[in-house]
Amino acid sequence: GENVEQHPSTLSVQEGDSAVIKCTYSDSASNYFPWYKQELGKRPQLIIDIRSNVGEKKDQRIAVTLNKTAKHFSLHITETQPEDSAVYFCAASTAGNTPLVFGKGTRLSVIA
């Protein structure tokens, strides 16, 4: 089955700096890669996703890149702000309602 590895487990950055979180996956059939943000005491919320027919996707300060050959994908947050502090989860799945396989999460702290 699919296995998703996520690094680092914790990340601290200064406000205004960039943050990068990386994930690798094992199943070459996976073609959907979402990223979730979970603030303290709240539900995980989808912030961006990418499908395997696209190499990069941007939404304001966040972007995701996908390298299908190497089977890894990354989340990039630019100009970080204190409200970006949260736990971020990557995930992978194949098409349809195949369950997402999640990474173990990255706790991002943005220091003002």
Partner 1 sequence: ETGVTQTPRHLVMGMTNKKSLKCEQHLGHNAMYWYKQSAKKPLELMFVYNFKEQTENNSVPSRFSPECPNSSHLFLHLHTLQPEDSALYLCASSQQETQYFGPGTRLLVL
The residue ranges that bind partner 1 (CB under 8 A) are 32, 34, 36, 42-46, 49, 87, 89, 93, 95-100, 102, 104-105
Q: Residue 93 CB, nearest distance to partner 1 (Å)?
A: 6
Q: What is the Cα–Cα distance from 74 to 66, expressed in whole angstroms?
A: 7
Q: Residue 109 CB, nearest distance to partner 1 (Å)?
A: 17
Pick 30 or 80: Cβ nearer partner 1:
30
Q: Residue 45 CB, nearest distance to partner 1 (Å)?
A: 7
Pick 38 or 78: Cβ nearer partner 1:
38
- The phi, psi pair for 100, rounded to 5°, reads -70, 145
Pick 78 or 98: Cβ nearer partner 1:
98
Region of residue 83 (phi > 0: left; psi between -120 and 50: alpha; otherwise: beta): alpha
Q: What is the Cα–Cα distance from 73 to 93, expressed in whole angstroms?
A: 13
Helix/strand/coil for 63? strand
